Amino acid sequence: MTERAALRRLVGIAAPISLLVLWELAVRANVLDARLFPAPSAIAGNFADYVRSGQLGVNGVATLSRLVVGLLLGGIPGTLLGLAMGMNGWVRAYFGPVIALLYPIPKIAILPLFYFLFGTGEAAKWAAVAVGVFFLMAINTEAGVRQIERIYLDVARAYRIRPVSFFFRVLLPGALPNIYAGLKLSIGIGIVLAIAAEYQLTRTGLGFEIYNAQQVLDVERLYAALVAVSLLGFALATVVDWIESVAMPWRSQRRA
């Protein structure tokens, strides 16, 4: 790791710590109402109790499993459609308007429709995440394909590269930066949709924990559950960053 990269990482660690210290001091000085904004130390204590009780593991795994299944169900077809739209004008002409019409619809607003279609089980929650992920992956992948420099496509055609080789050596590597960007965005929207889906007709998940804390006015537990959601998203984003650095080491070197 270079000195510059190490300094950036240090700044990234110091920023949230300094904000937490300011928050703690503001609560202790009665600048912030502790009933609405509990001190970070109080939230940390509640979070520790949450971990010791075993409920964090149960609810965290439930949310994570719904998120991962939804990412797979929506991400794979979304990526494939994006690749097809990026390479074929007819496919883009057919599906482009459909995506443009459906993408702006708030996915949370159609959660009741998923319950009508799939019942109150896991399938409705998977579908909610999958739909949100599908559009993001399709749009980002298409953009990635269309940004591939023309010279690479011309050389591939000139050498008459077989379709399979073209896909793995030209198309997919060229679109990978946008695919990873879409995946990071999909993790964020997927968590939002998974949490929203867990608000109703379920007894497990971080969304259920947030809803339950809201109902009984347990503000510290509410913040503790939000911390758990934040850590889940951060962990998944870190995993994606690591996979990206392994798959595309030249990008990591260039950023450093």
pLDDT reported for residue 60: 94
Q: In sequence order, which residues have a C-beta less than 8 Å from that of residue 252 and are 6 or more positions away?
A: 244, 245
Helices (H), 198-248: 206-215, 219-247
The residue with greater pLDDT, 90 or 155, is 90
Taking the C-alpha atoms of residue 189 and residue 187, their distance in angstroms, rounded to an integer, is 6
Q: What percent of the chain has pLDDT over 90?
A: 55
Angle subtended by helix axes 55-87 and 89-102, to nearest 10: 140
The model's pLDDT over 28-73, given as tens digits with 9 standing for 90+, comes to 998 988 888 999 999 999 999 989 998 899 999 999 999 999 999 9
- Residue 254 has a pLDDT of 55
pLDDT in tens, 229-243: 999 999 999 999 898
Residue 255's pLDDT band (cuts 50, 70, 90): low
pLDDT at 202 over 90: no
Residue 108 in tokens: 């949370």
pLDDT band at 160 (very low <50, low <70, confident <90, very high): confident
Task: Please give the average per-residue pLDDT across 209-230, as a whole number.
Answer: 92
**What would be the CATH architecture of the domain defined by 56-255?**
Orthogonal Bundle (1.10)
The count of other CB atoms within 10 Å of the CB of residue 189 is 18
Q: Where are the domains of the chain?
A: 56-255
pLDDT of residue 229: 95
Mean pLDDT comparison of 3-7, 41-45, 162-166, highest-scoring range: 41-45
Contact 214, 36 (CB under 8 A): no
Q: 185 or 167: whose pLDDT is higher?
A: 185
pLDDT value of position 256: 55
The model's pTM is: 0.86
Over the chain, what is the mean pLDDT? 88
Mean pLDDT, residues 10-16 taken together: 79
Q: What is the pLDDT of residue 35?
A: 87
The predicted structure's pLDDT at residue 252:
57
